[in-house]
Amino acid sequence: MIITSRFFNRSELIGFIALAAVLFVILPLSLDVFRLNLVAKYLTYAFVAIGLVLCWGYGGILSLGQGVFFGLGGYCMAMFLKLEASSVENTKIQSTPGIPDFMDWNQITSLPLFWQPFHSLTFTIAAIILVPGLFALIIGTAMFKRRVGGTYFAIITQAVAAILTILIVGQQGYTGGINGMTDLRTLRGWDIRPDHAKIILYFFEVFLLFVCIGIAQFIRLTKLGRILVAMREQEDRVRFSGYSVANFKIFAFCMAAIFAAIGGAMFALNVGFMSPSFVGIVPSIEMVIYTAVGGRMSIFGAVWGSLLVNFAKTSLSESFPQLWLFGLGALFIAVVLAFPNGLSGIWADYVQPRIDRLLASRKSKAGAWADNSVADGAPAE
């Protein structure tokens, strides 16, 4: 791999420009608000997928419990929105007005203590980052310091996902149970449901997504990124070289958790809804699938993977209500069998060499400004 001083090498730059053009210009111009809102929903999973590229693709830590962090972020946001939607005048018909409707249905008569701080937006935003971050820190410390890794770690993250789902479903008076938190309406008095709000939320989300892409890219390019890759390939050698493998793993895992939580919070805002069906084992595995389809080594690939798989999910289920799951399953099998490196692998193996050849032939014709930029166009990794 060639180390460049630039933030993006040329193929990444093409990827960056293509993604920015599609998300900022092409999709908003070509889709109606309903479809654009669906894209916003798909993109919330892209946050998770970027986190997985860092922690699984680079760090080699396969987490099958990212739904936990997606859910924690989403629930923090939803709690704030739900409190705002449950003002006294909105909930007049309840036995106890002013508390969320599901609490009233469960005979809870006052707002529980841990709900109180979620009246504050500042606290909520901090909680969206810190709650999942700290939770990941605890799990990570407990696991990696004891050198639990690989399959065992994946299984434990699954168990955590299952436990959190059971907790949320069981404590329905405090969490809304299996129904989740529905009917979220306003953010500080600003209605999040009408079309113009959906458009603003979409652009805000895409902006956040690019911030996260930037952070992930930055981590990748620093020495830290190199150590992550080294750790994935030869964990013992890194350890013998004097690095604390556990700390690096904890860091990657926490970053993935925080990205997932931001995605979850954006989900609650865009969809107006949060439920335990995004926390459990199945959605967690789906999130890994998005990353795998996109290519687990590629940050941009992860975004494309999330978009395409979810788009396929929606369109297949609209066209074939009874058979679509089989179609989706076949798609996964085909991608994994034929293209183990996912979409970004297809790009690197088939598209990129042609572009390079095209550019090289044009350059040799022109003969001028010959420098070494062909070399640095080689696929990253």
Partner 1 sequence: MSDEPNKGLQSPLRRKLLMGAAALPLISMLPRPSFGAGPATATVNTTGLAVTDTEVTVGILHSATGTMAISETGSIQAEKLAIEQINAAGGVLGRKIKFIQEDGASDWPTFAEKAKKLLVNDKVAAIMGCWTSASRKAVLPVMEQYNGMLYYPTFYEGLEQSKNVIYTGQEATQQILAGLNWIAKEKGAKSFFFIGSDYIWPRTSNKIARKHVENVLKGKVVGEEYYALGSTQFNSVINKIKLTKPDVIFTDVVGGSNVAFYKQLKAAGVDLSKQALLTISVTEDEIDGIGGENIAGAYACMKYFQSLDNANNKAFVADFKKMWGEKTVIGDVTQAAYLGPWLWKLTVEKAGSFDVDKIAAASPGVEFKGAPEGYVRIHENHHLWSKTRVGKAKLDGQFELIFETADLVEPDPFPKGYQ
Site residues (vs partner 1, CB under 8 A) = 32, 34, 38, 41, 93, 95, 102, 105-107, 166, 169-170, 172, 177-180, 182-183, 185, 193, 271-273, 275, 277-278, 314, 317-318, 321-322, 324-325
* C-beta closer to partner 1: residue 30 or 361: 30
In the complex, minimum distance from the CB of residue 242 to partner 1, in angstroms, rounded to a whole number: 48
In the complex, minimum distance from the CB of residue 101 to partner 1, in angstroms, rounded to a whole number: 8
Provide the 8-state DSSP code for 297. Answer: T
In the complex, minimum distance from the CB of residue 35 to partner 1, in angstroms, rounded to a whole number: 8
In the complex, minimum distance from the CB of residue 81 to partner 1, in angstroms, rounded to a whole number: 12
In the complex, minimum distance from the CB of residue 121 to partner 1, in angstroms, rounded to a whole number: 22
Question: Which structure tokens are listed for 19?
Answer: 């993604």
- Cα-atom radius of gyration of the chain, to the nearest Å? 22
* C-beta closer to partner 1: residue 141 or 182: 182
Question: Which structure tokens are listed for 36?
Answer: 């654009």
3-state secondary structure of 274: strand
Query: What angle do helix axes 150-170 and 121-144 make, rounded to 10 degrees?
Result: 140
User: CA-CA distances (angstroms) from residue 276 to 263, 273, 369?
Assistant: 15, 11, 58
* C-beta closer to partner 1: residue 110 or 241: 110
* C-beta closer to partner 1: residue 232 or 313: 313
Reference 174, options 290, 305, 83, 271; nearest CA is 83
CA distance 263 to 42: 10
In the complex, minimum distance from the CB of residue 324 to partner 1, in angstroms, rounded to a whole number: 7
Question: Which structure tokens are listed for 266?
Answer: 């954006």
Structural contact between residues 28 and 200, judged by C-beta atoms closer than 8 angstroms:
no
* C-beta closer to partner 1: residue 41 or 249: 41
* C-beta closer to partner 1: residue 329 or 340: 329
In the complex, minimum distance from the CB of residue 253 to partner 1, in angstroms, rounded to a whole number: 27
- In single-letter form, the type of residue at position 340 comes to P
Question: Which structure tokens are listed for 114?
Answer: 């841990």
Tally the residues of the chain.
Answer: 381
* C-beta closer to partner 1: residue 306 or 341: 306
The helix or strand, by DSSP H or E, that contains position 190, with its residue range, turns out to be strand 190-191
